[in-house]
Amino acid sequence: MTGAPLRIRYNPDLLEAAIEHVLRRRGAAGDRSADESYRRAADRIYARYEQSEARRAAFGTLHARLFEEMGCGKPFAEAAGRFTGRITEVLVTRAWDRAEEGVELGADGRTLGARILPARFAAPEELRRFLRHEFEHVADMVDEAFEYGHGAGEFAGRMTRLQGDRFGLLWDCLVDGRTDRTGEIPLHTPQELAEECARLYPGLPDEAATTVVRRLWEGDRPTYALLVRWAADPAALAAWVGWSAGAEHAAASLGAPCPLCGFPTYAWAPAIDLPVERVIQEDFPAWRSRDGACARCVEAYAVRREFTAPVGGTNPAW
C-alpha cells in the first residue's frame, strides 16, 4: 500500500514519564548505566539554562532522544506500520488509568489518537501485546465491511455506560479470537471474557455466556450495527446463541450494574414513571425504562423532577 508516510508523535509529558519508568525498571534489574547517563545530562541542562522555558525545551529534547535510543517507540512503530498509506498520523498521549487507555480513529479517518500508561513502555512485550489488540480494533474501523459507526440507529454515539461496556466486551471477543488464530497471544482469555460476559449480562446463564464468547471468538465477524444491537438488547443476543429465555429479566438480577451509575445494585426500581423517565433521558438519551435502573438513581431523578417542575402543575410537555 502506498501513500503519505506514517508519522507518530508523542506528547512531551508522556515521554518524560515513560523514560522515568524505563530507567527505574532497568535500575531494578541491576543496570544503572542509563540512569547515570540521564542524571549527568540533566545536570548539564540545569547548569546551562536558567530560563524555565529553555530548560523545559532542553529536557524535552533529551527525553525524545533517550526514548528513541532505548527503543521505546519500536512497539508503536510495529503496530501502526501495517496502516502506512491508510493512516497518516498517530498522536500518543498519556493515560492516567487503564480505563483511559485505547486507540481511536479520528473523524477524518486518517489520524489516530492513542492514550497509553507510561509504565507500559518499561515492558515492551506487554506493550506489544496491548497494541496488537488495540490496532486490531483499528483494522475493523477502517474495514468498510465492518461498517464502523453506521447502522446503529438510536444508539449511535449515545449508548449508556452499561451498553458501552457490553459493546466493548463483544468486540474484544472478535479481536482476541482473531489474534489467537494467528498464533499470537490475545489480550484476554476466553474464560476471562466469559466471566465478564456473565457479569454484564446477568440474565444469561453461564453456559450461554460461554457460548457467546465462543461464537464470537471462532466465527465470522458481525457488523458494527449488530454488535451495538446486542449490547442494547440482551434478549437479541440470547436468541443468537439459542437461549430463548433471553436476558429479559437481566435488570432485575441481583448484583447487576445499574446502567445509569454503573454500580452493582441489589435494589432495582420496581417501576419508573414516564415523567421521571424523560428526566433521566436528558442525561442518558439512549436509555429506556426497559433497561432498568437502581432505586437510588430513580429516586434522585424523581427529586430532580420535583424541584424543576413548574409551580402550580406539571410540565405541559409531560
pLDDT digits (tens, 9 = 90+) for 186-223: 999 999 999 999 988 877 888 999 999 999 999 999 99
Q: Are residues 99 and 165 in the same domain?
A: no
158 and 115 share a domain?
A: no
Residue 318 lies in a domain: no
What is the total count of domains within the chain?
A: 3
Q: Are residues 300 and 277 in the same domain?
A: yes
**263-316 pLDDT per residue, tens:** 877 677 877 888 899 999 888 887 887 778 888 899 899 888 877 655 444 433
- Lowest mean pLDDT of 16-30, 108-122, 139-153, name the range: 139-153
> What is the side-by-side strand order in the sheet with 102-105?
7-10, 89-94, 111-116, 102-105
> Which of 232, 250, 268 is the last residue before a domain boundary?
250
Q: Supply the pTM of this predicted model.
A: 0.74
- Whether the per-residue pLDDT at 179 is higher than 70: the answer is yes
**In this structure, is residue 232 part of a structural domain?**
yes
Pair (97, 116) in one structural domain = yes
Distance, CA of 292 to chain centre:
24
Q: Is the pLDDT of residue 169 over 90?
A: yes
Residue 43 lies in a domain: yes
Rounded CA-CA distance 239/257 in Å is 22
Question: Is the residue at 143 inside a domain?
Answer: no
Tell whether 101 and 181 lie within a shared domain. Answer: no
Answer yes or no: is 39 within a domain.
yes
Tell me, what amino acid is at 61?
T
Range(s) of the domain holding residue 242: 153-250
Residues 56 and 97 in one domain: yes
Q: What is the pLDDT of residue 250?
A: 45
Same domain flag for 303 and 245:
no
Chain mean pLDDT for the chain: 87
pLDDT in tens, 34-71: 899 999 999 999 999 999 999 999 999 999 999 999 99
User: Is residue 253 scored above 60 in pLDDT?
Assistant: no
**Phi, psi at 285, each rounded to 5°:** -60, -30
Mean pLDDT, to the nearest integer, of 126-140?
95
- Answer yes or no: do 73 and 173 share one domain: no
In the listed set 107, 125, 143, which residue is the last one of a domain according to the structure? 125
In Å, how far from its chain's centre is CA 60?
Answer: 29
Give Cβ neighbours of residue 230 (< 8 Å, ≥ 6 apart).
166, 170, 222, 236, 237, 240
In a domain, 315, yes or no: no
Is residue 25 located within the same domain as residue 64? yes
- Taking the alpha carbons of 139, 141, 145, 146 in that order, is the dihedral positive or negative? positive
Q: How many CB atoms lie within 10 A of CB 73?
A: 18
268 three-class SS:
strand
Nearest CA-CA partner of 103 in 77, 132, 70: 132
How confident is residue 87, by pLDDT bands cut at 50, 70 and 90?
A: very high
**Are 237 and 260 contained in the same domain?**
no
Share of the chain above pLDDT 90, in %: 60
Decide: 167 and 231 in contact? Cβ < 8 Å.
yes
Same domain, 241 and 267: no
Give me the pLDDT at residue 41, please: 95
> Which DSSP state fits 309?
S
Element (H, E) at 299: helix 295-308
Q: What is the pLDDT of residue 201?
A: 86
Among positive and negative, which fits the CA dihedral 87, 91, 97, 99?
Answer: negative
Q: Could you give the percent of the chain with pLDDT greater than 70?
A: 89
268 in the same domain as 218? no
